């Protein structure tokens, strides 16, 4: 039996965005798939991927004493070395991932490899790293990036079910990890007031204990007619409870969060709000039929780590009356605000794509041409229009690609 | 106790000082320092390939310069990753002036061990002042010349031997026949040697080494002409020979016994092997070996007379050779040289004066329960590290391991990452 190890040490959302790879491996019978995640996400990973062997490592926010860490990690690493993995997928560009690569021969590892103490990036991640230098034209979803570590990758339509309302009301993801990417309470109040107009069912506020104060603030600010329908679940659900709630929703309203990816995983429709550093082409909800409101100012997508000198101007269009009107009626509006675009998700043989429904995004031709190039690259397809790929090919393919064997 | 240092040893692309550089690495590690090596020879083939292109000399020169700048930049990147307390280089190390200036700006101390004859290899004039410490194998007038050029931290640091490698050997009969002779010489075919050795062809005399021009008189004595002799083979030749001739090189044919100043590495290596040697007079030799330890000749008649004398006196040869070995062990190992170099650098440029606290840096063994302590202690032994090594240096040593790591090594690196993320940032 083939045995695989996937090392995914990032956050909640990333575990879900590894699904194309993990499911792709799991559906190659007979296969035994192991998944290494942060210790705090073990129970989530087991719920999402019940057929995998999940290993928890102390990576995020946990502070074990060094002795405990050495013992705990030592036991897991020994077990890994005794397991004859035919392939190890080392997904994240982090110091933890780099040292874990040291356990294996470089030839065994896809992603980040270790050769005599030197970290090496495989050909595919190296190419994708190049893409992210100009994020505006980057058409590649993270799910597809990791999914295409497999050749052939799992068919995109098999990753997540199409979005379909479940009858359990509306969910509201209160916040994500990056504050600037989230909608502040006053903005959220206006959006919810408009969007929930046509949804008579319960309204579930979702989030961790940290988001409880914001949830209370939101509750107070909502119109009384909505307040009575709110069920504040912030800090009150474990992973299992969250999955149960999200799986029954008609709609999840969310910024770019792990909960949004959970909804996509469960086939729950998402309407997402992407601003600041969030870029739907990279981390939008995966599957058919989700909607994303994408901020499209010239400075977007920005870097979360750098301060915003525009006073988060990309937030303003989200409360434009035309947007609120659309959210209320789901019909087109005559005068959409500039710098905001509504897109709908779908999948094709390469992966996720977003098609503008309202408004426009800059550099769409370049983005499409890059996507065509990547699609041909991963699927081995002949280009439909070679001339259109000349510019992206010149940008993506460098001399080392041309001259040196790519692992 | 002096604290352990992190030292980046920059080897030259090729040549005699490359071997010296490798011995330095071993010695520094024996002294308990954490040593990272820049393996410049790995770049040499690519560099040589430039010369085979049949292109204009101007282009070739520009390309060679660019190539060496890339190599220098690689060294700087290594400095950035390793954060050494000292960058040590041997003669011809590929550190550009620009790179040396950058290191000085970044307050990374540098030391050069210039194991060349300053008269034959004059490029030191452009580079010496860019190093913080400049160690040499000659004294005046070289010292004064260096000071005139602005290099004040000059150290006389003669060559040495590695007694674990350059050691007495019990040879098999086959090796004794293969490598042995009454008289042998191992080295390159410099003009003075070509002239001198023509007088030895009537003896059981063997010449080993490369760069010997075709010479019908010497041809019968040549062993494996043109072939490189490995250091391992050299030790066998030294051990198998009754009288090892050690005639220092000279680019002039006359006089064959040139009477120069510095003492070559072969002198120390022969002595360390407890192999008897007959060496030509050098002005700096008396400070290193006495005539009770090595037999010295001053001219050609003296050399011929000494050969005849010692060939018939095996006991005398053995006694002198054993004394020479003892002298090496007491004073002339690479460990001695590296200790002297670091002491000098501490004194002159304040090397390694960062205060690690009265108890020194915390040991990786601190706070570990017995079973883990045992495992880490075993790992320290394998890595040839003292128990007093800092956790950072242990991590670096693990990162230098070849092949896949084991569970303990990976766990320690994982702990290091965890500390970087959560402890050092606090």
With beta carbons less than 8 A apart as the criterion, state whether B161 and B181 touch: no
In chain A, the residue whose alpha carbon lies closest to the alpha carbon of B412 is A70
Strand partners, A114: A119
Q: Which residues of B touch A (CB under 8 A)?
A: 367-369, 372, 399-422
- Put simply, whether A356 touches B (Cβ < 8 Å) is no
Chain B residues in contact with A74 (beta carbon < 8 A):
407-408, 411
Q: What are A327-381's pLDDT values in tens digits?
A: 888 776 667 788 999 999 999 999 999 999 988 899 999 999 999 989 988 988 7
* Furthest C-alpha separation in chain B: 78
Helices (H), B162-298: 173-179, 191-197, 231-240, 265-272
What average pLDDT score do residues B286-307 get?
94
Closest by Cα among A269, A266, A237, A267 to A254:
A269
Of B399, B409, B418, the CB nearest to A58: B418
Residues of A within 8 A of B418 (CB-CB) are 58-59, 69, 96
pLDDT one-digit tens code per residue, B401-413: 878 899 999 999 9
Tell me whether residues A81 and B407 touch, CB distance under 8 A.
yes
A39 contacts chain B (CB < 8 A)? no
Q: Which helix (H) or strand (E) holds B333?
A: none
- Domains of chain B listed by start with CATH number: 6-160+333-349 (3.40.50.2000), 173-331 (3.40.50.2000), 370-422 (no CATH)
Q: CB–CB of B417 and A81 under 8 A?
A: no
State how beta strands A291-295 and A340-347 pair.
antiparallel
pLDDT band at residue B356, thresholds of 50, 70 and 90? very low
φ, ψ for residue A387, nearest 5 deg: -60, -35
CA-based radius of gyration for chain B: 24
Q: Is the pLDDT of residue B361 over 70?
A: no
Closest CA to A254 of A221, A208, A207, A297: A207
- Report the interhelical angle of B391-399 vs B407-422 (nearest 10°): 130
Q: Which residues are A342's β-sheet partners?
A: A293, A358
* pLDDT one-digit tens code per residue, A138-184: 999 999 999 999 989 999 999 999 999 999 999 999 976 667 888 99
Q: Tokens in use for B39?
A: 């393996």
Measure in Å the smallest separation between the Cα of A94 and chain B Cα atoms.
9
Percent over 70 (pLDDT), chain A: 96
Domains of chain A as residue ranges with CATH:
2-121 (3.40.50.2000), 170-362 (3.40.50.2000), 365-403 (no CATH)
Structure tokens belonging to residue B48:
């040589």
Contact yes or no for A342/A328 (Cβ under 8 A):
no
Contact: B413, A66; criterion CB under 8 Å: no
Tell whether the model's pLDDT for residue A125 goes beyond 50.
yes
pLDDT at B357 over 50: no
* pLDDT tens-digit map of B183-205: 999 998 888 999 999 998 899 99
Contact A74 B411 (CB under 8 A): yes
pLDDT at A263 over 90: yes
User: To which residue do tokens 């003292």 refer?
Assistant: B386
Nearest-5° Cα angle at A75, A72 to A80:
125
Q: What is the DSSP string of A142-173?
A: HHHHHHTTSSSPPPGGGTSPPP---SS-EEEE
In total, chain B counts a number of residues equal to: 426
Give the angle A241-A247-A248 at the CA atoms, nearest 5°: 100
Cα A339 to Cα A284: distance, rounded to the nearest angstrom: 18
* CB-based contact B416:B391 (threshold 8 Å): yes
- What is the interface pTM, i.e. ipTM, of the complex? 0.84
Q: For residue B397, give the H/E element and its range.
A: helix B391-399
Could you tell me where the beta strands, DSSP code E, fall in A101-146? 109-115, 118-121
- Strand A53-57 and strand A31-38: the pairing is parallel
DSSP secondary structure code for residue A162 in this structure = P
CB count within 10 Å of CB B30 equals: 16
pLDDT digits 0-9 by tens, B201-256: 899 999 998 888 888 888 888 888 777 888 999 999 999 999 999 999 988 888 98
> % helix / strand / coil in chain A, to the nearest 5?
45, 20, 40
Is residue B193 helix, strand or coil? helix
Cβ contacts of B419 on chain A, cutoff 8 Å: 66
Distance of CA B73 to the CA centre of its chain: 24
């Amino acid at each position: 039996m083939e045995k695989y190890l996937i090392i995914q040490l990032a956050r909640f959302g990333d575990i879900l965005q590894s699904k194309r790879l993990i499911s792709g491996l799991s559906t190659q019978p007979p296969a035994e798939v192991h998944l290494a995640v942060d210790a705090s996400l073990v129970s989530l990973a087991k719920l999402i991927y019940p057929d995998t062997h999940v290993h928890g490592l102390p990576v995020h926010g946990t502070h074990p004493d060094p002795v405990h860490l050495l013992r705990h990690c030592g036991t897991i690493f020994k077990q890994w070395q005794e397991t004859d993995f035919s392939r190890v997928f080392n997904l994240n560009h982090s110091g933890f991932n780099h040292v874990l690569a040291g356990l294996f021969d470089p030839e065994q590892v896809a992603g980040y490899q270790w050769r005599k103490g030197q970290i090496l990036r495989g050909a595919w991640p190296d190419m994708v790293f190049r893409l992210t230098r100009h994020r505006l034209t980057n058409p590649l979803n993270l799910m597809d990036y990791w999914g295409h570590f497999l050749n052939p990758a799992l068919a995109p339509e098999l990753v997540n079910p199409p979005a379909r309302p479940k009858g359990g009301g509306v969910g509201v993801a209160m916040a994500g990890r990056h504050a600037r990417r989230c909608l502040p309470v006053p903005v959220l109040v206006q959006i919810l007031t408009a969007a929930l107009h046509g949804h008579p069912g319960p309204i579930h506020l979702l989030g961790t204990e940290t988001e409880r104060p914001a949830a209370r603030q939101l509750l107070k600010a909502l119109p009384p007619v909505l307040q009575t329908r709110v069920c504040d679940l912030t800090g009150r659900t474990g992973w299992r409870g969250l999955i149960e709630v999200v799986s029954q929703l008609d709609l999840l309203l969310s910024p770019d969060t792990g909960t949004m990816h959970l909804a996509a995983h469960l086939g729950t429709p998402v309407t997402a709000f992407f601003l600041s550093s969030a870029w739907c082409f990279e981390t939008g909800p995966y599957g058919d039929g989700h909607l994303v409101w994408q901020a499209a100012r010239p400075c977007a997508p920005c870097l979360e780590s750098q301060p915003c000198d525009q006073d988060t101007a990309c937030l303003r269009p989200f409360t434009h009356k035309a947007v609120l009107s659309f959210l209320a009626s789901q019909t087109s509006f005559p005068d959409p605000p500039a710098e905001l675009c509504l897109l709908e998700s779908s999948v094709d043989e390469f992966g996720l794509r977003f098609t503008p429904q309202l408004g426009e995004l800059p550099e769409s031709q370049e983005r499409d041409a890059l996507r065509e190039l990547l699609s041909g690259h991963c699927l081995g397809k002949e280009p439909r229009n070679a001339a259109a790929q000349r510019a992206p090919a010149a940008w993506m393919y460098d001399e080392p690609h041309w001259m040196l064997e790519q692992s | 106790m002096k604290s352990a240092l992190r030292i980046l040893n920059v080897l030259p692309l090729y040549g005699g000082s490359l071997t010296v550089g490798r011995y330095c690495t071993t010695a520094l590690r024996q002294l308990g320092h954490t040593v990272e090596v820049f393996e410049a020879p790995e770049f040499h083939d690519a560099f040589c390939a430039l010369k085979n292109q049949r292109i204009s000399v101007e282009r070739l020169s520009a390309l060679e310069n660019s190539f060496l700048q890339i190599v220098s930049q690689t060294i700087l990147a290594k400095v950035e990753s390793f954060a050494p307390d000292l960058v040590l280089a041997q003669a011809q190390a590929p550190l550009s002036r620009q790179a040396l200036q950058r290191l000085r700006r970044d307050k990374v101390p540098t030391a050069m061990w210039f194991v060349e004859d300053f008269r034959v290899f004059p490029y030191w004039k452009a580079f010496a002042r860019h190093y913080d410490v400049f160690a040499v194998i000659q004294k005046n007038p070289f010292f004064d010349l260096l000071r005139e050029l602005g290099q004040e931290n000059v150290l006389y640091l003669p060559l040495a031997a590695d007694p674990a490698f350059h050691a007495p050997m019990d040879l098999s009969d086959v090796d004794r026949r293969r490598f042995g002779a009454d008289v042998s010489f191992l080295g390159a075919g410099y003009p003075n040697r070509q002239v001198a050795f023509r007088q030895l062809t009537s003896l059981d005399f063997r010449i080993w080494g490369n760069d010997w021009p075709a010479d019908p008189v010497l041809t019968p004595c040549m062993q494996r002409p043109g072939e490189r002799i490995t250091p391992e083979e050299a030790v066998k030749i030294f051990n198998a020979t009754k009288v090892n001739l050690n005639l220092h090189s000279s680019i002039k044919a006359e006089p064959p016994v040139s009477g120069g100043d510095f003492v070559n590495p072969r002198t120390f290596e022969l002595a360390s092997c407890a192999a008897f040697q007959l060496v030509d007079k050098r002005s700096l030799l008396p400070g290193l070996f006495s005539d009770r330890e090595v037999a010295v000749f001053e001219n050609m008649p003296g050399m011929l007379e000494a050969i005849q004398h010692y060939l018939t006196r095996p006991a005398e040869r053995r006694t002198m050779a054993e004394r020479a070995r003892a002298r090496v062990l007491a004073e002339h190992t690479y460990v001695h040289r590296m200790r002297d170099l670091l002491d000098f650098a501490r004194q002159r440029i304040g090397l390694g004066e960062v205060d690690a606290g009265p108890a020194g840096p915390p040991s990786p063994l601190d706070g570990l329960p017995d079973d883990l302590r045992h495992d880490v202690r075993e790992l320290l032994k394998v890595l040839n590290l003292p128990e007093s090594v800092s956790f950072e240096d242990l991590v670096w040593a693990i990162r230098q391991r070849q092949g896949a790591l084991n569970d303990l090594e990976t766990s320690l690196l994982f702990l290091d990452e965890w500390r970087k993320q959560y402890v050092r940032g606090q």
